[in-house]
């Protein structure tokens, strides 16, 4: 039986736990409950909510079609743009905002920096719902970059002022490299480290564990940005790194031939799934 090291930071973060609790709270009230997009990026969680009658709305068009008296829509932890939030309210829904407070803080920074005449650079995945929501909280001139190459392609003038924020689940080490690069270019740029503390600690702990085990397991949805980043970090430190959603994805994997196995999990992974994987590896 191998030694199993489970990351202390594995599983639900504060923002995800808060959002899921808010959905369950609304389910105890009269009326139909919807979420705008999956409440979190985890099929086990969204599947359980769907089985209890919670429906996922994927667009404003769907929201308007489903609107009705006494209906509630919960804005997911990733947040939404101002236009989307206003459209939901205008459609007649009782809107419950479950946006993670750390994401909401970025919304506030973007509005404030734009009000001061600064163009905001958002570091993250432009297709991620959190990033789309952040971009939709400020001026149309704000831009999203994945890295330094994207920034170079923008060819932004040096005589303007800028501010930089990042997706809460962005790779912290990569963000520091981007900030150092931009600072060396002599831009007038304010840089805000908006990668949440839980993400930084989760990434740091995962890297430490991966560096000292024979095999590393990362649990979470492949649609989850923070889970994919954990996998990337662990893969650089441990040659045998697996990305799974549940213990069933391990199939007949035999861990008896290794001396140590590390386990971490994305911020949207429920505790019971982590425990099931841990039990499987130890069996």
The residues annotated with a catalytic role in the active site are 130
193 in Cβ contact with 200 (< 8 Å): no
194 in Cβ contact with 165 (< 8 Å): yes
If we measure between CA atoms, which residue out of 97, 55, 5, 38 comes closest to residue 268?
A: 38
Q: What is the DSSP string of 199-211?
A: HHHHHHHHHHHHT
Q: Any idea which residue has 């979470």 for tokens?
A: 220
Retrieve residue 86's tokens. 């206003």
Cross-strand partners of 242: 217
Sequence-distant (6+) residues with CB within 8 A of 257 are none
Retrieve residue 93's tokens. 């829904």
Q: How far is CA 215 from CA 83, 247, 274, in A?
A: 45, 15, 16
Q: What is the distance between the alpha carbons of residues 114 and 141, in angstroms, rounded to a whole number?
A: 9
Q: Where are the beta strands (DSSP E) in 19-150?
A: 33-36, 55-57, 72-75, 94-97, 119-123, 143-145
């Amino acid at each position: 039986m191998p030694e199993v090291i489970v990351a202390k930071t594995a599983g639900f973060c504060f923002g995800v736990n808060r959002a899921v609790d808010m959905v369950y709270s609304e389910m105890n009230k009269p009326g139909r409950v919807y979420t705008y997009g999956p409440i979190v990026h985890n099929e086990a969680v969204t599947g359980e909510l769907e089985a209890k009658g919670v429906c996922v709305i994927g667009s404003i068009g769907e929201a308007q079609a489903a609107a009705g008296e006494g209906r509630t829509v919960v804005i997911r932890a990733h947040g939404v743009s101002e236009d989307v939030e206003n459209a939901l309210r205008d459609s007649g829904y009782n809107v419950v905002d479950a946006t993670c407070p750390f994401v909401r803080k970025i919304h506030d920074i973007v509005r404030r920096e734009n009000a001061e005449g600064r163009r905001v650079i958002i570091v993250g995945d432009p297709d991620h719902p959190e990033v789309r929501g952040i971009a939709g909280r400020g001026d149309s001139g704000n831009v999203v970059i994945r890295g330094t190459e994207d920034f170079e392609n923008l060819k932004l003038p040096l005589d303007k002022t800028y501010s930089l924020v990042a997706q809460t689940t962005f790779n912290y080490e990569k963000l520091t490299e981007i900030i150092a690069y931009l600072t060396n270019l002599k831009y007038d740029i304010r840089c805000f480290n908006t990668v949440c503390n839980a993400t930084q600690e989760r990434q740091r702990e995962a890297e430490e564990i991966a560096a000292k085990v024979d095999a590393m397991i990362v649990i979470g949805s492949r649609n989850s940005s923070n889970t994919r980043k954990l996998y990337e970090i662990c893969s650089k430190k441990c040659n045998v790194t697996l990305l799974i959603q549940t213990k069933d994805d391990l199939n007949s994997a035999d861990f008896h031939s290794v001396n140590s196995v590390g386990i971490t999990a994305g911020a949207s992974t429920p505790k019971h799934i982590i425990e099931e994987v841990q039990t499987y590896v130890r069996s």
